[in-house]
Structure 1
Amino acid sequence: MFVTYILSKVRNYLRYRETVRELSVLTDRELDDLGISRFQIDSIAREHAAA
């Protein structure tokens, strides 16, 4: 059970980092097209990782 919990947390963190990386490479124009501000990247990535 504990190992499953840890693996879940690791997967969530990796999903968070991947989302941050992908959104960070976008230009401000591309982010604007998506309706995202650069300062929102962290919170969006956290929401995505938790889902």
Structure 2
Amino acid sequence: MAYVNTSRAALARPSLFGDVVEALRNAIARRKLYARTLEELRSLSDRDLSDLGLSRAMITEVAREAAYGK
């Protein structure tokens, strides 16, 4: 006879592997957002950047903040 025991605590708590996979997915998504933002801002002309209130020196900081927050 087989017996299965499921408790709410076991079902509510995700596995460590799942947490690691989710953290890795989030890190990859943030890195892609950073790279895409960096590419788009670098493709703008100095005039377009000026219209946005940015300079070329600010591009990496703006991209980092967009992807990772402050």
Residue type at the aligned position of 2:48: E
Count of aligned positions: 51
Deviations 1:5-50 (Å, cap 9, x if unpaired)? 0110000000000000000000001100000010110010000001
Alignment match of 1:36 (pick from 47, 50, 54): 54
RMSD: 0.7
Q: Does 1:46 align with 2:64?
A: yes
Distance in 2 of aligned mates of 1:10 and 1:43: 19
Of structures 1 and 2, the one with the larger relative CO (CA 8 A, separation 6+) is 1
Displacement over 3 Å in runs of 4+: none
Q: Structure 1 counterpart of 2:64, which letter?
A: R
Report the secondary structure of 2:48's partner residue.
helix
Structure 1 residues without counterparts, runs of 5 or longer: none
Structure 2: 5+ residue stretches without partners:
1-18
Q: Does 1:8 align with 2:19?
A: no
TM-score, length-normalised on structure 1?
Answer: 0.95
The structure with the larger Rg is 2
In 2, distance between residues paired with 1:40 and 1:6? 28
- AA of the residue aligned to 1:14: K
